[in-house]
Amino acid sequence: MSKRGALLVELVLALVVAGLLLAIGVPALRAPLDRLATDRAALEIAAAHTRARIASIAHNRVGRLVITQDSLTITLGHPPDTIRHWSAAGPAVSSVTLIGPGRELLFRPAGISFGVSNATYTLARGAATTRVIISRLGRVRMVRR
């Protein structure tokens, strides 16, 4: 008996079976991956809100949190005397869409936001949607759809 390698027909058959398994498995994983991405983006917005609130209290300055599709940015102080305190990538980095315009939240040095009573951010990817509702007093609620 001589050792032989795999025949071309056997290799093609193995690739076809692997392709069929992937074709069945990938759509089944899409919904949970979309849900995880929107939840992560919602948690990042909630964490940025908390970070801006605490920075405003700690530095005893007005804090400004700007949430857009591409970035989350915290600045402290009044213009023209502002300093960038923190910045991170927005929901777009995870292919999550921020529905509606970007918002700006202002925090007093006491940590209470002013200008907006409640802010609602809707995040979507695929069929998954998560709403982040932030109250003036700093309470954060996330609602999945």
- Taking only the tens place, the pLDDT of each residue in 14-27 is 999 999 998 888 88
Distance, in Å, from the CA atom of 130 to the CA atom of 136, rounded to the nearest integer, reads 20
pLDDT at 87: 97
SS3 state at 7? coil
Residue 137 predicted with pLDDT over 60: yes
Domains (range + CATH), the chain: 8-144 (3.55.40.10)
H helix intervals, the chain: 8-59
Edge-to-edge strands of the sheet including 63-67? 83-89, 71-76, 63-67, 103-107, 113-114
Residue 83's Cβ-side half-sphere holds a number of Cα atoms within 13 Å equal to 5
Which has the minimum average pLDDT: 18-32, 43-57, 73-87?
A: 18-32
pLDDT at 46: 93
pLDDT digits (tens, 9 = 90+) for 77-136: 988 889 999 999 999 999 999 998 878 889 999 888 887 667 899 999 999 999 999 887
Residue 4 predicted with pLDDT over 80: no
